[in-house]
Structure 1
Amino acid sequence: MLPMDSPGQIIILNGTPRSGKSSIATIIQDTFEGVWMNIGVDQFMKMTPERYQPGIGLRPGGERPNLEPIVMLMYRAMYESIAAHSRVGINVVVDVGHHDGYSVPRGILPNCARILNGLPVLFVGIHCPIEEIMKRRIDTWKVGYTENGLIPVPVKRWQHYVHVPGIYDLEVDTSVMTAEECANLIHQRLEKGPPPKAFQLIRDMKV
């Protein structure tokens, strides 16, 4: 039975596209005790009408300022849903790529942290060197370096902006650890502590 008398655990996996977030989220759902719902960027993009794509998946660069107010509302809706699940005792894993590289600073991450105030949140940084990201992009999407052999600017922007401000409860590197090993570290942190505090610190940031 679900522990309705206590809030569900929330795990937020933050990293660039192709960093391995989804694989870790799947293992958490399949192996961690209890019910784990995956509420993240892929699910929200699937629900987003075509004219508003890529929704919360909007990459850094400020290329679509007209979409940014809607993106802010979508993030709010996603985190309100995460909070609602947790409050009724359902665990949530979130794979997402937070950044503030919009046309103007939007402060989305601190605002999302405030929505989850009082709920148990473990914020995990999913790192992967850009060279490995490029390899995975080529393997998955057949899209890689520019004609001049350079790393595309959008990929560089993701790599920089996604880990600002860099406040995490736990950080893993998927280029040297398997998804299973990363999930195991997350499980150990939940079991042995110390208590997470990253979202408390982010919540108090000025925006």
Structure 2
Amino acid sequence: MMSGQIVIVNGTSGSGKSTACRLFQQRAQDYWLSYGIDDFLANTLPARYGHHGPLATEGIQAVPVDPAAPDGPLRWTFGPYGVRAFEILHEWIATAARAGANIIVDHLLMTDTPVFADCVRRLDGLPVLLVTLKPPFEVLERRVAERQMDKKLPVEILGADAARRIVDRLTRLRPWFYESVYANDLADLTVDTAEHGPDEVCDLITARLAEGPGTAFARLRTAVSVM
């Protein structure tokens, strides 16, 4: 059986990756699975091990970038369950492709965590097209602000103080996400989504797939082999 095609759409919150992936699947004439980092973190990873949960130290924890500035920007660190969860996510993607299914995945390929290298290693030998959606940071900030996250959280369940802490934590994480996710500038296709809307992104992905296999992951394997 031939392996299915994998498309990894990499980008931070607000880059348009989830919208592009959903639209791509809807428009595709052949069979495509779709999965993403938001689904994974919200519905697959147990909430108590997420960075808002009481067992975050064993899963995914948000800690100060500079320990001397505890109220400054945050970054993620990974405990054993966090590392294992992403290993399983990448195995799922690989398994879907090996079973002959095409799959498009929106992802956060954070370079200074185990996530980036593990994804590259576990998809070794499979057809992967790496797409990076990268608008300017100020555009991301505006888009996220317009989402009004504080109004989307279940305040009646969490409580007002907990909801405020979550919004504050996400705000303080954004600079690190932008730096970590976009530190790798090697991709098969890079799109500024401040200039190209979701339909155009899908057209660009389709056109790039028509050109032939992606090569970015094969080149990245050399880099991660020494990590």
Fold similarity call, TM over 0.5 = yes
Q: Does the alignment pair 1:198 with 2:216? A: yes
Please report how far the alpha carbon of residue 39 of structure 1 lies from its aligned counterpart in structure 2 after TM superposition. 2.2
Letter in 2 for 1:202: L
The superposition leaves residues 71-124 of structure 1 with CA deviations (integer Å, 9 ceiling, x where unpaired) of 2211110110011111111111110111134xxxx4431222121111110001
What residue is the counterpart of 1:72 in the other structure?
83
What residue is the counterpart of 1:121 in the other structure?
128
The superposition leaves residues 171-204 of structure 1 with CA deviations (integer Å, 9 ceiling, x where unpaired) of 00111101110110010010123x3111112222
* 3-state DSSP of counterpart to 1:13: strand
Q: Does the alignment pair 1:6 with 2:5? A: no
d(CA) in 2 for partners of 1:63, 1:180? 32
Distance 1:116 1:133, change over 3 A: same
Task: Select the residue among 30, 45, 50 that pairs with 1:48.
Answer: 45
Distance 1:59 1:40, change over 3 A: farther
Task: Select the residue among 31, 35, 38 that pairs with 1:39.
Answer: 35
After TM superposition, list the pairs within 5 Å mapping 1:83-102 onto structure 2. 83-101=94-112
What residue is the counterpart of 1:161 in the other structure?
180
d(CA) in 1 for partners of 2:11, 2:98? 26
On the 8 A contact 2:135/2:192 being kept in 1, the answer is: yes
* 3-state DSSP of counterpart to 2:8: strand
Paired-residue identity, %? 30
Task: Select the residue among 25, 28, 32 that pairs with 2:24.
Answer: 28
d(CA) in 2 for partners of 1:84, 1:126? 25
Task: Select the residue among 109, 113, 118 that pairs with 2:116.
Answer: 109
On the 8 A contact 2:18/2:36 being kept in 1, the answer is: no
* 3-state DSSP of counterpart to 2:105: strand
Distance 1:119 1:142, change over 3 A: closer
d(CA) in 1 for partners of 2:60, 2:118? 17
Distance 1:63 1:191, change over 3 A: closer
CA RMSD between the two structures: 2.2
Q: Structure 1 length as normaliser, TM-score?
A: 0.82
List runs of 5+ in structure 2 lacking aligned partners: 66-73, 151-170
d(CA) in 1 for partners of 2:216, 2:10? 12
Letter in 1 for 2:79: E
What residue is the counterpart of 1:139 in the other structure?
146
The structure with more radius of gyration: 2
Letter in 2 for 1:200: A
d(CA) in 1 for partners of 2:45, 2:103? 20
On the 8 A contact 1:41/1:57 being kept in 2, the answer is: no
d(CA) in 1 for partners of 2:109, 2:126? 19
Q: Structure 2 length as normaliser, TM-score?
A: 0.76
On the 8 A contact 1:39/1:78 being kept in 2, the answer is: no
